[in-house]
Chain A
Amino acid sequence: MLKLKGITKRFGSLVANDQIDLEVRTGEIHALLGENGAGKSTLMKILYGLYTPDEGTIEWKGKPVQIDGPGHAMALGIGMVHQHFMLVPVFSVAENIVLGQEPGGVTLNMRQAVADVTELSQRYGLAVDPRAPAESISVGQQQRVEILKALYRGAELLILDEPTAVLTPQEVIELGHILKGLVARGKTIIIITHKLKEVRELADRVSVIRRGKLITTVNAKGQSEAELAALMVGRAVELKVPKAKAEPGRPVLDVLGLSASNVRGLPALHDVTLMVRAGEIVGIAGVDGNGQTELIEVLTGLKQPQHGQIRLNGQSLAGLPPGRIRAAGVGHVPEDRQKRGLVMDFTVAENAVLGAQRAYSKWGLLDYGRMREHALKIIRTFDVRPPEPAYPARALSGGNQQKVIVGREILRDPVLLVAIQPTRGLDVGAIEFIHRRLIAERDAGKAVLLVSLELDEVMALSDRILVMYKGELIAEVPGDQATEKDLGLLMAGGGARG
């Protein structure tokens, strides 16, 4: 159905796509697997007409085409579902689907729109309520709306960019059914992903891209996750870092009855009580937006709690400013590394002392020599590449930026390490590395509080797992007894309070 031949795309000196040949067959689910920055998204943007390739040809249904833009791609029958959904929150589902191609002439024929959408959703087995406002439906349903949007525009080939990033495990299974249903009705699907499990669960064939080059295209079913990981990274990787049984010591962090509101002033945390001991990793599982961000912000002083107590080794921290909480011994790997964790236009050396800058001065002046030494220590210990303290943080890849942050926070030797989404957007190799370091911190007797939207990560690292739903901790599961299915149900609000 689709043939890419010798596609090359350069950005300055960087070759994002290097002579890529890719063939997608009608009626298959084709996964495009690769690490971050491997060039998957660039390739799909070329296919969707957002970029023009420097070299190479695209053949669509046997004819060579030049795709000038998304409009042209859609006219050809290529639809894209972006990672971040693009719905108008106050519009109804039907309005969102027909947006831009509304039935009726000058006036919008809403009845026709609803009928069209109902018909479409029945034909493809994508249940949605056409009249519900987009903001009121779940993330999984929003994704269905996005898929319907593409189908409404006559898409025969659907490109899904990281489709499972925001879904609960149950929703992922449902998505699998939906995709298989679409394929059964003659559609073709490409999913872009860096998750190995998804490839095996969803795809028929998989093409692996590494550093801009297509490594191979193989049948997905015949591959183990380890084999796929090795293809993707170019070396063997440990998918689950081995860890010994935890030996928890005295309580370090004691949180009692914590409540807080979100940025819009709505309640986000309700009566949260938890404890983290020395030498254990406590993981918080939950779907994005259930209060995890607010919990960490309150714990680290970025947000004021409304009620409740926070004690670190008996010292009350609730309501203190971030600087005082850092000084008390809380290390913090923040959720957003570019907005919080680093000053992107500072050098690595300057970022290496962020939060401790006052300690790096002599006679009232900054001691750049010691800053550089400290940066080199982080670089060596955490394998930051390139090993250049004078580079601006912006010039580093996401994984290396994250290593600088994790390194800085761990080398501060905190009593409690709070890490939220510590491996978001990182590739398998970097994830493995950061997981090892977090476990090493635990083994060194630190208390670690981990928040992650990746269930695999929570399960791989945590000694105890707390499930967060709508601002409350609704269950506690021992790490070694947790299953994805149980946690998934709890994350969706199922199950009684634990």
Chain B
Amino acid sequence: MAKQARSPVTEALAAVAVPIAATLLGLLVGTIFILASGSNPVEAYAALWQSVAGDPSQFGETLVNAIPLILTGLAVALAFRCGLFNIGVEGQYLVALVASAWVGYRFALPHVLHTTLALLAGAVAGAAWAAIAGLLKAYRDVNEVITTIMLNYIALYFAHWLVMAPLRDPQALAPATPPVLPTAMLAQGLIAESRLHSGLWIALAAALLLWLFLWRTPLGYEIRAVGLSPGAAEYAGISVKRNVLLVMALSGALAGLAGGVQTLGITGRFYEQAGFIGYGFEAIAVALVGRNHPVGTVLSALLFAALDRGGPAMQAMAGVPMTVIAIVQGTVILFVAVEGLWNILRKRKARAVKPA
């Protein structure tokens, strides 16, 4: 019952080892469904492997998928650590796409500075968008789940209006902003014949910094205290309101950074979006599966990115029906999540059996 507290290193290792085992187990169970659908599981998983990491360029593309998921996942994880449920990552990501594109095409600046400012614009836009929900939560006690969901729709239609009217590039065929200037773009070609760009380093650095921030700084300590026990935080003179606002803004900044990296690394402009893109929602699952730990979130984002890429490949190359692929994906995620759930249950049980 009395569990020894673990050092950050073992904690990180445990955050890695168990989900990997759970993933393999999930794939194993997925085999049953693939067999039931009449396809060949060996072919299917070969196709999966081929599309995820079959050759360097494929692996590069998987990483391209993972970059926005890492950053948005970190955004959700940070908010969770302060006891906040940021469902608005999608909206924060959207406003950042526009903001970074705008700075990217509107100003002529030298290379590194331009990129930095365009990324910063994305982060600031995301932070500002999330801070609205943070302010309402901290000072008006409005549930952040509601406000962030609502702000997602406002962001979607606000971005829609911007790209249809004031920011529209008259020369573009589909509604879009003008293209970002080359001085603002992130370098691609980390791996030949893939679009992998230096945003990967930004995402990994963000994960490392977030870990350092939460577990190694007094402010991170205070944020975790607020998340784990608002009553004790208040007692200790830690302002719950101030931290709620701060963390919402920082979470939004990470979501915004994801948007900036995506614009400057991949899309190069903001295209009109008919609906939500989905990274912000997938991020919630990414963070949960990653146990809200930065290392876990990076790995979990890789898992989600692989499953996102592997699905179409399994359909095209092994003829596995799309619905069965969804089942396999769901099974893997379920196994990883259940493992986390099991941990939570075990903790709760340990608490419950303490005799009064």
Tell me the A residues contacting B by CB distance below 8 Å: 11-14, 16, 36-37, 39, 41-42, 300-302, 321-327, 332, 334, 336, 339-347, 350, 354-355, 357-358, 360-361, 364-366, 386, 388, 390-392, 394-395
Contact = CB atoms under 8 A, between A and B. Distances in A.
B232 A342 contact: yes
Contacts of A332: 235
B3 A395 contact: yes
A340 B216 contact: no
A161 B228 CA distance: 31
Contact of B218 (A340, A357, A394): A357
Given A41-B356, A392-B5, A346 B234 contact: no
Contacts of B231: 336, 339-340
Contact of A355 (B224, B229, B237): B237
Nearest to B350: A12
B61 interface: no
Interface residues of B, number: 33
A491 B11 CA distance: 52
A341 B1 contact: no
Contacts of A343: 224-225, 228-229, 232-233
B2 interface: yes
A11 B233 CA distance: 32
Contact of B237 (A14, A322, A391, A395): A322
Contacts of A322: 234-237
B355 A391 contact: no
Nearest to A361: B218
B144 interface: no
Interface in B215-258: 215-218, 220-222, 224-225, 228-229, 231-239
A20 B234 CA distance: 44
B4 A361 contact: no
Given A342-B229, A343-B224, 19 more contacts: A11-B355, A14-B1, A14-B353, A36-B356, A301-B237, A302-B234, A339-B229, A343-B229, A346-B228, A350-B221, A354-B236, A357-B236, A361-B217, A364-B217, A365-B212, A386-B2, A391-B2, A391-B4, A394-B351
B291 to A, nearest CB: 13
A129 B251 CA distance: 58
A259 to B, nearest CB: 22
Given A322-B235, A343-B228, A391 B218 contact: no
B237 A327 contact: yes
Contacts of A336: 231
Contacts of B218: 357-358, 360-361, 364, 366
A358 B3 CA distance: 28
B353 A326 contact: no
14 contacts: A11-B353, A37-B356, A324-B237, A339-B229, A341-B235, A343-B225, A343-B233, A347-B5, A354-B232, A360-B218, A366-B215, A391-B5, A392-B5, A395-B3
A262 to B, nearest CB: 16
A16 B5 contact: no
B353 A12 contact: yes
B2 A326 contact: no
A324 B225 CA distance: 18
From A301, A327, A332, A346, residue with most partner B Cβ within 10 Å: A346
A322 B234 CA distance: 7
A457 B96 CA distance: 61
B221 A395 contact: no
B4 A390 contact: yes
Interface in B64-102: none
B353 A357 contact: no
B355 A16 contact: yes
Contact of A366 (B4, B217, B236, B355): B217
Nearest 3 A/B pairs, CB to CB:
A323-B237, A11-B353, A355-B236
A321 B237 contact: yes
Interface in B1-28: 1-5, 7
Contacts of B228: 343-346
Given A322-B234, A334-B235, A395 B217 contact: no
Contacts of A344: 228-229
A223 B276 CA distance: 76
A175 to B, nearest CB: 21
From A41, A339, A357, A364, residue with most partner B Cβ within 10 Å: A357
A359 to B, nearest CB: 9
A366 B229 contact: no
Nearest to A359: B218
Interface in B297-326: none
From B222, B225, B231, B232, residue with most partner A Cβ within 10 Å: B232
Nearest to A392: B5
A326 B355 contact: no
Contacts of A364: 217-218
A41 B355 contact: yes
Nearest to B238: A323
Contacts of B7: 390
